[in-house]
Amino acid sequence: MTNTNVTILLVLTSIAGLTGCLSPSRDTPPLQIWDDMKVQPKYKPQQQSGLFSDKRSSRRPPEGTVAVGQLNADDASHWGIVNSQYVGRNPLPITKELLAHGQNKFNVYCAPCHSQIGDGKGIVGVRAGAAFQPANLTEPRVKQMNDGELYSVASEGRRTMMGYRNQTSDQDRWAIIAYLRALHRATSGTIEDVPDSLRAQLK
Ligand code: HEC
């Protein structure tokens, strides 16, 4: 082959290679002469491995060890239950930041069913009909539950409600319960809460 022919061949193959890599309209995977960085030796979940005698690529933690941040030694704050009794009060100090965090998480995880004011009229219940009716979280029966019971329902679910232990952290759920108490307070107002100077304006 002459030098010119070699050059032409190189130019053509480069163009073919580049269009193959760059064309956004292709629906087949682009040709890879060298593997892209996304192609690397790795295990996918539950894949078999020849490296270990039990052939599991997903390893169990060594016995007697606990991953950082996953100790959960305190039953009260992890389960909301101690000696088969719901804990009476939220173990976290109630601060403005905790309430703001709880409001955020409540609006994400609870409001779709229970609504942002907790009356149970969220969009899911409205669409689902009679078979799936979220509870009104501001009714006296729920107000009377202690913090541990509310936390336990949020964690494990109850009857037709599923739990949110896997979607939220323990701290998130205690923050949600603190905020739910704020909703309880907001729906328990009496005339005594209105300053004397404003009572005349009430209709
Ligand atoms: C997908 C819809 C859905 C979501 C999201 C949801 N709930 Fe519920 N919840 C329900 C339903 C339905 C019930 C009524 C269960 C029953 O009585 O069968 C209920 C009942 C409850 C009750 C009353 C339990 C009782 O003893 O009657 C509490 C408290 C509660 N939910 C708290 C929460 C909190 C806190 C969250 C957010 C972490 C949440 N729920 C998220 C559907 C939901």
Confidence of residue 15 (pLDDT cuts 50, 70, 90): low
Distance CA 163, CA 180 (A): 16
State mean pLDDT over 33-46: 86
Confidence of residue 63 (pLDDT cuts 50, 70, 90): very high
**Residue pLDDT, tens place only, 130-142:** 889 999 999 999 9
Mean pLDDT of the residues in the chain:
90
89 C-alpha to ligand 1 centroid (Å):
20
pTM comes to 0.77
153-155-159 Cα angle (round to 5): 45
Q: Which domains does the chain have, with CATH numbers?
A: 75-189 (1.10.760.10)
**Residue pLDDT, tens place only, 116-160:** 999 999 999 899 988 899 999 999 999 999 999 999 999 999 999
| Token pair recorded at residue 93 | 């100090």
Determine whether the shortest distance from the Cβ of 114 to ligand 1 is under 6 A: yes
Lowest mean pLDDT among 1-5, 81-85, 196-200: 1-5
Element of type H or E holding 86: strand 85-86
183 C-alpha to ligand 1 centroid (Å):
15
User: 41: alpha, beta or left, given left = phi > 0 and alpha = psi -120 to 50?
Assistant: beta
